[in-house]
Every structure is written in C-alpha cells, then in structure tokens.
Amino acid sequence: MGKHKAYKKSTSDYVQKNEKTAVKAKKHLGQHFLKDENVAKKIGDTLSLEGYKNVIEIGPGMGVLTKYILEKDLDIVAMDLDSESIAYLNNNFQLEHNEALRKSKSFKVLEADFLKFDLSTLFTEEQFAITGNFPYNISSQIVFKTIENRDRIPEFTGMFQKEVAKRICEKEGSKAYGILSVLTQAFYNAEYLFSVSPDVFNPPPKVDSGVLRLIRKENYTLPCKEKLFFTVVKTAFGQRRKTLRNSLKTLQLTDDIKVLEILNKRPEQLSVDQFIDLTLLIQKSQS
C-alpha cells in the first residue's frame, strides 16, 4: 500500500514540477486527458483478466490510467497516435525504474493509429483485451474494429461519450437503440458501468462520459451469413422511421417474406435475436 501511494505521488509531482513537459491536449485528436485518480482506478478495475493475459490501452495520454493497468499481471501495449504522448510515456513509464511496484509482465509504448494498425502483429496471435479513455471522435470506429477482430478480443472496457456508451448497451424499444447496439450485442454482452462528469478531464468536454464493458459471448458465431446480417441491420436502421417492409425493399424480398408480421415493425422494435432470425429467413429465401 505504501509503495503504491508513493508511485502515484511521484508521478503526480513529476507533472506538477515539469509542466513544460506535460502533454497538451490536441483538439484534432479529440484529446481530453483524465485527471481524476479515482476514476482512472475504477476504469482499470473494469478489466476482469479472464481468458486473456494481454491488453491494448488506446489513447493513454499521460498515463493516468496506464499506471493502474501496470499493477495487473498482463502484457501491455499502450498505443497512441500522438507523438508527444509517446515521448512522455517513454520518459516516465520505464518499467526498470518501477520494478518493485508493477506486476505487468511487459510494457510497450507504440506510436500508431489503432484504426489502421494490423492487430495480427501483436501478442503472437494470443487473446487480448482493449481498454482506454477513447478519443470520442473515433470511439464508434474503435468498437467496429473490435467486432471485426472479435476472435481475439474477449473483453473490451473503457470510456466513451455517455450518449454513445448508452447506445452501445441499449436494448430494443428505445430510440437510442440502433446499428451500433445490434452489431455489438450480436457478439458481446454489453454492460453500462458508470457515468463520469466533464470536470474530471483537462480540458473538460462539453458532454458527460460513460464507462462500459463488453464481454464476448460464449458462442459468438452467427447462424446466418455475417455479411447479410450486417446489411439487413444497416439497411433497416437507414430508414428507421419506416417499417421493415418498406426499409428493406432494396433487398428484393420474396413474397413469402413480405407477408411476415415482423415486417410491420420498425427496426428499434426488434431484438438482436430477431434480427438474426430475420436474416436467416431472407438467406433461405435467396438460396
């Protein structure tokens, strides 16, 4: 306990005494640096550590969350597009200087764009989790890339704009329920964990934030064609005010599909399982 407190104090003191070396938040990168230690620790504790021994932290900034992940028995990659953040982390988070205080097996700082990075080059094809205080301007894209790589990502936790986090976890019947909700929940169990106010960031964003956790489903293989499923969901919500009978016209539905009662509903009324069942029906009618 004493060592843990000393580590946090020394890191904080470094930033305060060397303000010229502190990283400046860049608007074009959507940076809002978390400054609340309690919130950072809570996010770090969202990792269950079940089914993996590796983690990628996206957008570590000045490492307020990083130091809590370093307490865990994990191989860690901190990935940031900001070269200034990378330099800061390399200068202040060298593991050899904190050997007695960390449990992580390895720590690597990587300057890269997560959305463009080839994830197959990390962790020798092993499973890994993703966490972070995500840049809000690309947070949905980060989720979509996670879905694309779900075979290797059993868990995903982190901070989003509250509205987006709620949308990801929302169930059918809500106006917030949409493409992101259905596609995420088709493969992951989504849980909204807690909200975060703007005043714990520097600079403070204009919106509230929210932390969520995604746990990959035990059976995350769809019984229908994945590409068709994605098409059905995106087409349906592309005209969400219309009934499915009207919004799905472009899919050239057969007559036996057109008469189904479910097509009288709007897309936000269908559960994930109902979207899968509908895709299966369309798939069979096209074969």
- Show me where the domains of the chain are located: 2-216, 226-286
* The token pair that represents 123 in the structure block: 């962790």
Backbone angles phi, psi at 166, to 5 degrees: -65, -40
What is the CATH architecture of 226-286?
Orthogonal Bundle (1.10)
Q: At what angle do helices 272-286 and 226-238 cross, to 10 degrees?
A: 110
Spatial distance between the Cα atoms of 16 and 4, rounded to a whole number of angstroms = 19
CA distances from 124 to 6, 19, 53, 75, 152 (A): 35, 38, 12, 12, 11
> What's the confidence (pLDDT) of residue 14?
34
Backbone angles phi, psi at 34, to 5 degrees: -70, 130
Per-residue pLDDT reduced to its tens digit, 202-238: 777 788 999 999 999 999 999 999 999 999 999 999 9
| Higher pLDDT, residue 19 or 249 | 249
> What's the confidence (pLDDT) of residue 66?
92
Spatial distance between the Cα atoms of 30 and 136, rounded to a whole number of angstroms = 6
CATH class, 2-216 region: alpha beta
Fold agreement (2-216, 226-286): no
Three-state DSSP class for residue 99: coil
Band (34; pLDDT cuts 50, 70, 90): confident
Per-residue pLDDT reduced to its tens digit, 102-132: 565 789 999 999 999 999 999 998 999 999 9
Other CB atoms within 10 A of residue 238 CB? 13
Band (28; pLDDT cuts 50, 70, 90): low
Per-residue pLDDT reduced to its tens digit, 138-192: 999 999 999 999 999 999 999 999 999 999 999 999 999 999 999 999 999 999 9
Band (22; pLDDT cuts 50, 70, 90): confident
